[in-house]
Structure 1
Amino acid sequence: MKVHPVEPGVDAAALLAGAQFIDAYSIAIEHAEFDARQAAENMLGRRPRWIETLMILRNRLVAPFGLKTPHPTTRPSADAVGIFPIVSETPARLVAGFNDKHLDFRVVVDVVASGGGQRVTATTLVLTHNLLGRVYLAIILPFHRLIVRTLLRQVAP
């Protein structure tokens, strides 16, 4: 399964007004039927070991700056998927993310019928608040792109 960068197909102003960074990646899943929550749970509910290691390192590095260091729960939750609180949810779209002092973040998981399966698109939106947010975003962007592609490949049941 191939993950492709796509033009973000979301109303950024409604999801995170003023977002300075937006990207989107999409994958087609054949012979699949699931809603946005199931796709988001498959994508964000578990992480490969290398991503988990990066997150542990990230949490250690940002803790002195007072940034949020979320930890995944082992139990499914009605109000979160993986480490991200759910902002809104419909069968076709799940929006998760949080606000912090350096930046606000949203991940949007959209699911639409496509041929004999479904297309899942993950869109990321970020609004930075200060220099720390801009520096943090610049540092994590190369990792972000690789992580999103990896996590999207986990959507397939």
Structure 2
Amino acid sequence: MTAPVREITPNVDAGTVLSGAQFIDSFRVEVGTTELSAREACTRMVLNAPRWIDALTRLRNILVKPFGLKTSGEGAYAPGGLIGLFPVLSETPDQLIAGFDDSHLDFRLVVDVAGEATLRHVTSTTLVRTNNLLGRTYLALIIPFHKLVVRGMMGRIVEPAR
């Protein structure tokens, strides 16, 4: 049985991660005694996403391509390489920050691993700063899907692949 993913109050320094962010949310899942780094947690989330998320991503890419929006992290500066389509901007064993800047919006994903040895948890925080009307419209349209997608992806941290 997968541990429940719950929405929590964000606890990141938004000014440092993405100054001027207009949207921020956080979700947490308990992983018990599972030892994993922030990179491993992010990898499990992104690379083992449920199939329905892959289908939504493909649909999103088809719909946004005519607007000139990025459909992957290709070409983005990634000092830590890519995890899926997300360029890794910085990382420590307990925190990974991924994301990119685009003409319509700038996006960051922060994955934190914390807690005691017997009760560890992973927190995923999303920050978005819109740059224009297209970015604000896009953000308003995807927020309901975003919340479902993050919950689905975080459920794979404890049980990565079936």
Unmatched 5+ stretches in structure 2: 75-79
Contact 1:28 1:118 in 2 (8 A): yes
Residue 11 of structure 2 corresponds to 9
Partner residue in 2 for 1:75: none
Q: Is the 8 A contact 2:33 2:117 kept in 1?
A: no
Q: How does 1:1-157 map to 2 (within 5 A)?
A: 1-70=3-72, 78-114=80-116, 116-157=118-159
Kept in 1, the 8 Å contact 2:73–2:87? The answer is no
The question of whether the paired residues in 1 share the 8 Å contact of 2:73 and 2:100 is answered with no
Percentage of identical aligned residues: 50
TM-score (ref. length: structure 1): 0.92
1:81 Cα deviation (Å)?
A: 1.0
TM-score, normalised by the number of residues in structure 2: 0.90
1:86-121 alpha-carbon deviations (Å, 9 max, x no partner)? 010000100001100000000000000235141100
Cα offset, 1:143, TM superposition: 0.4
Q: Counterpart amino acid of 1:5?
A: E
Moved more, 109-118 or 60-69: 109-118
RMSD: 1.6
Q: Count matched residues.
A: 153
Alpha-carbon distance change, 62 to 70 in structure 1, aligned in 2, over 3 angstroms = same
Unmatched runs of 5 consecutive residues or more in structure 1: 73-77
Q: Do the aligned residues in 1 keep the contact of 2:130 with 2:136 (CA within 8 Å)?
A: yes
Q: CA deviation at 1:137?
A: 0.3
CA deviation after TM superposition for structure 1 residue 45, in Å: 1.8
Taking a change above 3 Å as real, the CA distance of residues 92 and 71 of structure 1, as seen in their structure-2 partners, is closer
Letter in 1 for 2:137: V
| Cα distance between partner residues in 1 of 2:107 and 2:65 | 18
Measure how far apart 1:71 and its partner are.
7.2
| 1:47 to partner: Cα distance | 2.1
